[in-house]
Chain A
Amino acid sequence: MANNPAAPPRRTRLGEWLRQPGVLVALPTTLFLLVGFAGPLVIVVVYSFMPPRTFSMFQAPTLANFVSVVTDSYYISFFWSFALATVTVGLLLLVCYPIAYGMAKLFGKWANLVTVLVALPLLISENIRLFGWVLILLKNGILDGSLQIMFGLSIPSLLYTVPAIVLGLVYVYLPFMLFPLVIGLSMVPDSLKEAASDLGATRLQVFREVELPLAMPGILIGAMLTFILSLGSLAESKILGGQAVVMIADDIESAFTFAQNWPKGSVLSVMLIAFSGALIFIVFRRIDLDRIIGRR
């Protein structure tokens, strides 16, 4: 349709590009996201250069907020966010890899059932599921109570500790690691692994030289996704962590709400966005989405 020979011959290049059916159907969502996503991001960046504690965005730009964030103790919450996100990604790789391998290579038609069972909890509010962990970890909660009945021993409450936050992060973001891994591992042809072991490669060599490199796009997407989601998480540290640690999203929230310092909250947001954006950029440059989603 784009190359309709009956069309008048001379037309601007932009006009020609706009007439492609693909561009036409891409337009509504693109406009929507420009208004709802790009616009707000620009505003946050503008606010980050406004004088502290102001609510208007038409003043002389200043770097005061960046200076105060760097010199203040915010590095502690950045440290905790990065540390917890790193630990979460590491644990998720260990937990999900065997399951993903099973789903891609061993389970056959049962893999579909596992997919559905892992995906269903995503449709339940994160808060409700995290609250379930509160009930389990609570003093006199389900874990404590069961141990008392079975072994007669009482454990201190695990709630409001750092491991509880990690548990919550691993729990909530597990599907976001598992599904990319399954896609990655199903892109590894069995014939190639068999060929490698026929040629005398050990199991470890097959894993390191064949399976890992070929499954890498899936591993990268899973790791990036879970890292970014953990980095910006709010509910896990608040519901399961109490006051144990303050993560960066907490700081951003309180700068905007209690402190009423929009420029400072904006600076923290810009730093988080810049880091996440850089990570997404690096990973996206290495992968082809048609191949992964469409299996073309």
Chain B
Amino acid sequence: MDGPRSSIAKLLIVLWTLVILAFLYMPMFSVVLASFTKKRYFSFPITAWDTRWYEKAMASLSVRDLIATSLSVAVTVTIFSVVLGFCSALAFARYDWKGRKLFQKLILLPIFFPQAVLGLALLLWFSNIGIITSWKTAAFAHMIWIVPIVTLIMSIQVYSFDPALEEAAFDMGASRWQVLKEITLPILSPGIVSGAIFAFLLSWGNFPLSLFSTGADQTVPEWLYAKMVSGYTPMVPTLGSLTMGAAALMVILVYLGFQLRRLRRP
């Protein structure tokens, strides 16, 4: 199979991959570029650069409110999703039980479900039970989509986990709680951390579920959408760039944490 033809094919595949990667990052780069423009309405090439929109965003009280709401939702979602996701990942990949195949498929349904429709269905649900929507109901809505995703991410780690280790600990007289604390949790911790990061950032960035479930509260993506559709302000690219920067920082810190852990290990 090797020959000049297949090495050309290989080169083309590499080039194509690079083109698509550039395609994926181009819009984000554009948003950052636009956030430094001086003009009120964006035009390219940029003739005057400025950072005043960042100063305005930092000083704005409504921006602080938006960030506080988004943070409350994302932190709540992360805590609950990690606990629920950890349990269901064990059910998904660790134990053999009757009904597991069905459970595996049913738990994935919310991921595939149209999110805007799910948000509206939840709105009907809340209003019929008599719950007034706020950031708390938004956190609930996010979890229906995020718990299955976290389950899936953690399951990948659980599949590679050797149950013999737990059994050995049981044989040596460890209690169920001790086994969980000393064996299961430490081995599965990379999966748990990745699940938590995904939970936090997916909740932070979610728009379609928040749209119908936040009531009077507003998250950052909702505000961005409202301003994009009507009443554009240069604060849109600025706040967009800020949240992208925060997400990038978080991912880098966690990556460094993983590397450090690997170095420390004998």
Chain A residues engaging chain B, CB cutoff 8 angstroms: 2, 17, 20-23, 25-30, 32-33, 36-37, 39-41, 43-44, 47, 57, 95, 98-99, 101-103, 106-107, 114, 117-118, 120-136, 138, 140-142, 144-146, 149, 171, 174, 194, 197, 224-225, 228-229, 231-235, 238-239, 249, 252-253, 256, 262, 265-266, 269, 272-273, 276, 280, 284, 289-290, 293-296
Contact = CB atoms under 8 A, between A and B. Distances in A.
A99 B251 CA distance: 24
A55 to B, nearest CB: 8
A25 B224 contact: no
Interface string B93-116: 111111111011111111011111
Contact of B84 (A32, A128, A144): A32
Contacts, number: 278
Closest 4 CB pairs of A and B: A232-B114, A132-B27, A22-B97, A22-B95
Given A28-B84, A284-B105, A40 B118 contact: yes
Contact of A25 (B88, B99, B206, B208): B88
Q: Name, among B197, B207, B237, the residue most crowded by chain A CB atoms within 10 Å (CB to CB).
A: B207
B247 A123 contact: yes
27 contacts: A22-B100, A26-B97, A29-B151, A95-B20, A102-B10, A102-B13, A107-B14, A117-B21, A124-B243, A124-B244, A125-B205, A126-B207, A128-B28, A131-B240, A132-B29, A135-B30, A136-B27, A145-B45, A171-B27, A234-B116, A239-B225, A252-B116, A266-B124, A269-B117, A276-B112, A290-B104, A294-B155
Interface string B224-252: 11001100000011001001100100010
Contacts of A146: 44-45
Contacts of B144: 32-33, 36-37
A262 B1 CA distance: 61
Interface in B102-153: 103-110, 112-118, 120-125, 128, 140-141, 143-144, 147-148, 151-152
Contacts of B27: 129-133, 135-136, 171
Given A131-B237, A136-B27, A141-B44, A33 B110 contact: yes
Contacts of A134: 228
A126 B205 contact: yes
A229 B114 CA distance: 6
Given A36-B143, A40-B121, A20 B98 contact: yes
Interface residues of B, number: 97
B111 to A, nearest CB: 8
A293 to B, nearest CB: 6
Contact of A256 (B99, B115, B123, B204): B123
B143 A32 contact: yes
Contact of B117 (A33, A99, A140, A272): A272
Contacts of B178: none
A293 B155 CA distance: 8
Interface in B68-106: 83-85, 87-88, 90-91, 93-101, 103-106
Contacts of B100: 22, 26
A123 B202 contact: yes
Interface of B: 1, 10, 12-14, 16-17, 20-21, 23-31, 33-34, 42-45, 83-85, 87-88, 90-91, 93-101, 103-110, 112-118, 120-125, 128, 140-141, 143-144, 147-148, 151-152, 155-156, 159, 197-198, 201-202, 204-208, 211-212, 220-221, 224-225, 228-229, 236-237, 240, 243-244, 247, 251
Contacts of A280: 109, 112
Given A36-B144, A135-B34, A145-B44, A293 B207 contact: no
Given A171-B27, A235-B208, A253-B120, A26 B17 contact: no
Secondary structure at the A interface, as helix, strand, loop or mixed, is helix
Nearest to B23: A171
Nearest to A234: B116
Contacts of A23: 91, 97, 99
A98 B93 CA distance: 31
Contact of B91 (A22, A145, A225, A262): A22
A98 B109 contact: no
A249 B124 contact: no
A125 B98 contact: no
Contacts of B33: 135, 142
Contacts of B23: 171
A294 B93 contact: yes
Given A289-B108, A293-B159, 19 more contacts: A28-B87, A32-B84, A117-B21, A117-B24, A118-B24, A123-B251, A125-B240, A126-B221, A127-B207, A128-B221, A131-B228, A132-B31, A135-B27, A141-B42, A171-B23, A229-B112, A234-B115, A252-B117, A284-B105
